[in-house]
Structures are given as C-alpha cells and as structure tokens.
Structure 1
Amino acid sequence: MRGLADIVLTIRAIGTQPVLTAMTWLAGLTSFMIGNAYHAQMPGFAGDLGHGDPGVSYSVLLAADAAGALLAGIALESWGRLKGTPRTAITLAMLWSVALLGFAAVRIYPVAIVLLFFAGFFELSFNTMAQALVQLNAPHDIRGRVVGLYNMAGLGMRAFSGITVGVFGAAIGIHWSLGLSAAGLLTLLFLLHRRGTRTA
C-alpha cells in the first residue's frame, strides 16, 4: 500500500509540470498500445512476407530494427541538432507509429525491411529524448520517484501490449492487430501533441 501511495503522490506532484506529465503519458501510451510485442511475432511476419527461408527472413527483419536503433544512438550523440523537446519526442513517436503501421500493411519484403529500420530509429530516438527530459526536469527532491514513475509507465505497461498486439493477433491476425494498434496509438499521440501545444 505504501508503494501505491507513493505513486499517487508522485502523479500529483508532476501534475502541474507539463513536460513530466507529457513524457510519462508518452511512455505509458507507447508501451500499452505496442511496446515490443511485435518482436515476438517476427517469425509470423517473415512467413507472411514469403521471402526465402522464414528463419533468415526473421533474422533480417530484427536486424533492420536494431540497425535503425544503432544509427539513432550514433546520430543523437554526434549530430546534436535534434532539439530535445516534448513536441519533438511525441512527433518521433508518431513517426514510429506510422512506420509500424506501414510495416503491418506492406507485403513487399524489401519495403518491410526499410520500414523496420525507420521504426528502430524513431523508437530509440523518442525513448532517449523522453527519458532525458524527465531526468532534466524532475524536481531534485523527488527525482528518484519521478524517474521511477516514468520507468513504471514505460516498462510496466508493456504487459498490456501483449493483449493489444499479441492476443488480438491470434484472433484477427498479426497484421491487423499491429496495424490497428499503431493506428490507435497514432491517434492518441496526436491528441497528446495537440494538448502539449496548447499548454506550451
């Protein structure tokens, strides 16, 4: 009960700080709707794309996602021109949603690889930016609690993406489940972006 009370107190404490609130919502929404649930479904996507051996196709698809994340890490560290703001982080998350929506819909293997590359790039970019904004803007006296709340939203909500992407995938197909989840996330992020613009 003490842990729940601390969570409630931390939520109230950041309620008047738009940056912390927006980034916590961002972490929670992206994890709840999609998270990394689609990674476990890559063998199914590889088989549906019908390009060569499903095992090799599966490896290449995951490698494309990882390569995009690697490039994002290098670019964010060396380029330094991408300004870290809540709007930018939300925009990058929206682009991630678009890339995954395209991946869910496409049936051309090379295009799927490119889309996953961009998905990996955008995912690491918005996650890194959001976490940095939380750490920089958290009040000193409750920084640990604020970061913990952000991590809980980002990691804890992934359990529900197993439903939105995984369980629904078994019912309606993995392409439809990922596509609908990405479309739903895109809509929610658009609303979050508009709200952030009004409060900025």
Structure 2
Amino acid sequence: MPGGWKNMALRIHPPGINPGSKAGTTFRALRHRNYKLWFFGQGVSLIGTWMQSVAQQVLVYRLTGSAVSLGIVNLMTVLPLLPFSFWGGTLADRVSKRKILLITQSLMLIQAVILAALTWTGLVQVWQVYLMAFLLGVLKAVDMPPRQSFVVEMVEGKDDLTSAIGLNSAIHNTARTLGPVIAGIVVATRGEAVAFFLNSLSFLAVIISLLFMRNLPQPTSSKQHLSQVLADAREGIRFVIKQQLLLVLMSLVAVTSFLSRPYQTLLPVFADNMLGGSAQPLVDFFCNGPLRTLTCQQPEALPLGLLYSAIGIGAVAGAVLVASLPPAARRGRLLSVGNLGLPVLLLAFVSSQLFITSLVLMALVGMAQVFQNTLANTLVQINSPDNLRGRVMSQYSLVTQGMHQLGGLQAGIVADWIGAPLSVAIGATLSLLYGIFVFFKFPRVREMA
C-alpha cells in the first residue's frame, strides 16, 4: 500500500466515533480494515463454537451421567497441546498466519460436520466424542499461536494492540453470552446434532473474512526442517525463562486455569443437581407453561445455557472496560483485581442455592476472568519482540489451554469423590492464596502498563 494511502487508512475511524473520546479509545482497532473483517467474521464463528461446547457437555453428561466423563473430554483436548502448540508457534513466526488459520478453520468445520452426523444418526458413543475432542485439540493447538500473534499484524503495530485484544475478548464473550442461550434452546428443542451443524456453518464467516484480508506482512521463511523447528522452540523457551515478569504472568494464568477455571467443566453438574430445583420454575415457564414457548426434548439444557450466558454478559462488560483503557494505563492493577476477585466470587457461587443469585455471581465471575486473561495476554504480547511473539504465545496458549483442560479433569475426578461444590471451593481457595502471594511478592506486576 502506498505511504499516503496507508496514512489515510490509519486516520479512518468508525462512523460517529470521536477518536479522542472514550468510545474512540475503545474501538480504535476497528480503523484497520483487516482487523474489522476479523472482528465480524470471528464474532459469528465464536457463537457457533460456544454452541458446540455447550451441546457437547450436554451430550456427554446425557450419555454417561458422570463428572469424570466431562473431565475426560478436557483431557482429550489437552493431550495434543504440548507437541502441536510449539509447532504452531514456530509456524506462526515463519509461515503466513492467514494461511495457517485458513487450514485449521476449514478442518474444524469438517470436525463439526462429522460430530453432527454421528449424533444425528443416533450412532454416537462417548468414545467417538472423545476422539472428536482429541482431533479438535490438535487443530486448536496449531491454531492458537498464529491466532493470538496475528492480532498485532492486523492492527499494524502495538499502538492499538490493547484495544484489539480487548475487542477480541468482547466478541469472544459476546459469543459466550449468545452461543449458550442459542445452544440451550436448540438442544432443548432439536437436539445436540443441530447445534453441531450450526457450528460448522459458522466457520464460513471467519474463513471468508480471512480470504478478504489484504496487505498483510510476509513471513520471513516458509521451509523448516525438524531440527530447525526444535531449535526455534528452544529459543522461545529460553527467552521466556529469562523474563521474570513473563514467568509470573504465565504462572498466574496457569494457576487460575488449573484451579479456578474448571468450574466451567462442572457447570452441568451445578445446573442439574445443585441449582435444578430453583431453576425449575423458569424451565416450567418456557417448556410447560400456559404459553408453551418451547417444545422441550431436553429441558435440562436451558439452565446450563443461562449460566454460561451470564458469564458471557459479565465478560463482555469486562472486555469493554479493558478495551477502553488508555495507552498509558496501569493494566497490572486491573489484572490484580481479576487475580483476586475471581476465586472470591467462585467461593460465593458454590455457596449459592438460588438460581437467580448464581446468575449474578456468574456474571461477576465472567468480568473478573476477563480482567485477568485479557490483560495477561496483552502484557505478554507487549513485552515480547516481534520475531519471537508467535513462539511466546505458543507457550502462553499451552499454559492457558493445557492447564485449563487438565484442571477440568482433576475437577471432574475430585467432584465424583467429594462433590462439585467442594471441588470448586478447594481450587478457588488455593488460587486465591497464590494470587495474594504474587500481589505482595511481585509488586512490579500490578504496576505494569
């Protein structure tokens, strides 16, 4: 792009938004054409992703009735992370990120179609769901490093990176709000297979957005031998090990992912067993009331979908706050609020016996979770050099997704042993203690800009 046109493009702002206003700060990443395409395409696709996630949990719990089975699905997703996320990171630094994402997103579409077909025909068995989860884990492991490091290319530098990552979190959590509600209605009325099929269609939106992008940076190299892949991965690991603040940030995310975030794995248990009674009037109104708004085949999907959507509502609010932060803001302070607030709110949630109270608490949990995850992601990227960012983010992806999925397995095992409330409470307590330790031991974290 000629210099004059590029400068002109960088001065374009979303209609009706003053770039100096708070709204201008929040949405400034949308002045970049490529990011705008990604924003809308990814927004549609993520709704489908959340629909499949909720439908898969309902399917597994319906087939087995076991919290451990929910944890095993997480294990199947995490097994490919270690080998494939490092490979994805080295690819992201040397191969076109758009090309990688086009391939992974297309294969995810095919995976969703296969799962829909198995479920629709009634042939589905739990081992097949495990296998599909494993294949999806392989694709996500390769997909996440280029996806996260692609953002800085779409906004042409770091100036609008906080806005872009905040808006990414906003669309992710808007999808978390809408996807589970749609999934709850679709699964309750039409079954899990329809939700899986709708997810496959949603991938077309992000694939089309990638195809329409222009003027992206060219990769430095596209050919690698295995020895070079391993050498590149080691270089990224050595860089992170030497950066104390990066290690602390990743450790915070790792502890939270392993001990606090597994509450999501156990939400079907909470929705069905702990909160099912207090949610029954709502289910009766929609499924059995005088208006008979829905014809429900699986009414238990409705409370679960609403709990997930409450998380999404709070997370969207948190993501907008993060995206609104000015460039010179002390992001570490809001990060600390998330580190300490998330486990405290989870302790309140496991004590709740009322569905409406639990919905409010889940909204606050979603907000706190975004404060930690989004700001940790932003700070890691800001403090990573361009030539290593893909490999650094592969380690970040391994930490966040790997520990989250392993945490889901341990939470499921512990929940079958001592119950879901106590399982979540123990994890939240340990996570809170580590957050307090970091708060006092590493004050530089909360002062990070």
- Provide the TM-score with structure 2 as the length reference: 0.40
Work out whether residues 255 and 431 of structure 2, in 8 Å CA contact, stay in contact via their aligned partners in 1: yes
State which of 130, 135, 138 in structure 1 corresponds to 2:384: 138
Q: Which has the higher contact order (CA 8 A, sep 6+)?
A: 1
CA displacement 1:104-138 (0-9 Å, x = unmatched): 12223222111100000111221111101001001
Secondary structure of 1:114's aligned partner? helix
Counterpart position of 1:21: 247
Secondary structure of 2:398's aligned partner? helix
Counterpart position of 2:174: none
CA displacement 1:152-175 (0-9 Å, x = unmatched): 111111232123321101110000
Shift of 1:28: 1.2
Counterpart position of 1:167: 413
State which of 265, 273, 276 in structure 2 corresponds to 1:40: 265
Q: Counterpart amino acid of 1:10?
A: G
**Cα 1:5–1:194 shift into 2, 3 Å:** farther
In structure 2, C-alpha distance between the alignment counterparts of 1:9 and 1:70, rounded to whole Å: 36
Counterpart position of 2:346: 100
Residue 184 (structure 1) aligned with residue 430 (structure 2): yes
In structure 1, C-alpha distance between the alignment counterparts of 2:330 and 2:352, rounded to whole Å: 31
**Cα 1:82–1:41 shift into 2, 3 Å:** farther
State which of 75, 85, 103 in structure 1 corresponds to 2:321: 75
Work out whether residues 334 and 371 of structure 2, in 8 Å CA contact, stay in contact via their aligned partners in 1: no
Q: Counterpart amino acid of 1:149?
A: Q
In structure 1, C-alpha distance between the alignment counterparts of 2:354 and 2:327, rounded to whole Å: 33
Which structure dedicates a bigger proportion of its chain to helix? Answer: 1
Shift of 1:56: 3.1
In structure 2, C-alpha distance between the alignment counterparts of 1:194 and 1:31, rounded to whole Å: 21
CA displacement 1:41-66 (0-9 Å, x = unmatched): 22321231221144432222121111
In structure 1, C-alpha distance between the alignment counterparts of 2:329 and 2:355, rounded to whole Å: 33
**Cα 1:166–1:5 shift into 2, 3 Å:** farther
In structure 2, C-alpha distance between the alignment counterparts of 1:180 and 1:43, rounded to whole Å: 19
Q: Counterpart amino acid of 2:431?
A: L
Work out whether residues 18 and 196 of structure 1, in 8 Å CA contact, stay in contact via their aligned partners in 2: no
Q: Which stretch of structure 1 is more off in the superposition, 18-27 or 147-156?
A: 18-27
Work out whether residues 22 and 86 of structure 1, in 8 Å CA contact, stay in contact via their aligned partners in 2: no
Secondary structure of 1:142's aligned partner? helix
In structure 2, C-alpha distance between the alignment counterparts of 1:43 and 1:82, rounded to whole Å: 41
**Amino-acid identity (%):** 27
Counterpart position of 2:135: none
In structure 1, C-alpha distance between the alignment counterparts of 2:334 and 2:373, rounded to whole Å: 11
Counterpart position of 2:439: 193
Work out whether residues 318 and 367 of structure 2, in 8 Å CA contact, stay in contact via their aligned partners in 1: yes
Secondary structure of 2:265's aligned partner? helix
Secondary structure of 1:148's aligned partner? helix
Question: Structure 1 segments of 4 or more deviating over 6 A?
Answer: 1-5
Work out whether residues 342 and 368 of structure 2, in 8 Å CA contact, stay in contact via their aligned partners in 1: yes
Q: Which stretch of structure 1 is more off in the superposition, 169-178 or 45-54?
A: 45-54
Q: Which stretch of structure 1 is more off in the superposition, 41-50 or 133-142?
A: 41-50
In structure 1, C-alpha distance between the alignment counterparts of 2:384 and 2:400, rounded to whole Å: 16
Count residues in correspondence.
199
Work out whether residues 339 and 435 of structure 2, in 8 Å CA contact, stay in contact via their aligned partners in 1: yes
Work out whether residues 337 and 371 of structure 2, in 8 Å CA contact, stay in contact via their aligned partners in 1: no
Secondary structure of 1:157's aligned partner? helix
Work out whether residues 19 and 133 of structure 1, in 8 Å CA contact, stay in contact via their aligned partners in 2: no
Alignment of 1:84-163 (within 5 A): 84-163=330-409
Work out whether residues 33 and 160 of structure 1, in 8 Å CA contact, stay in contact via their aligned partners in 2: no
Q: Counterpart amino acid of 1:68?
A: G
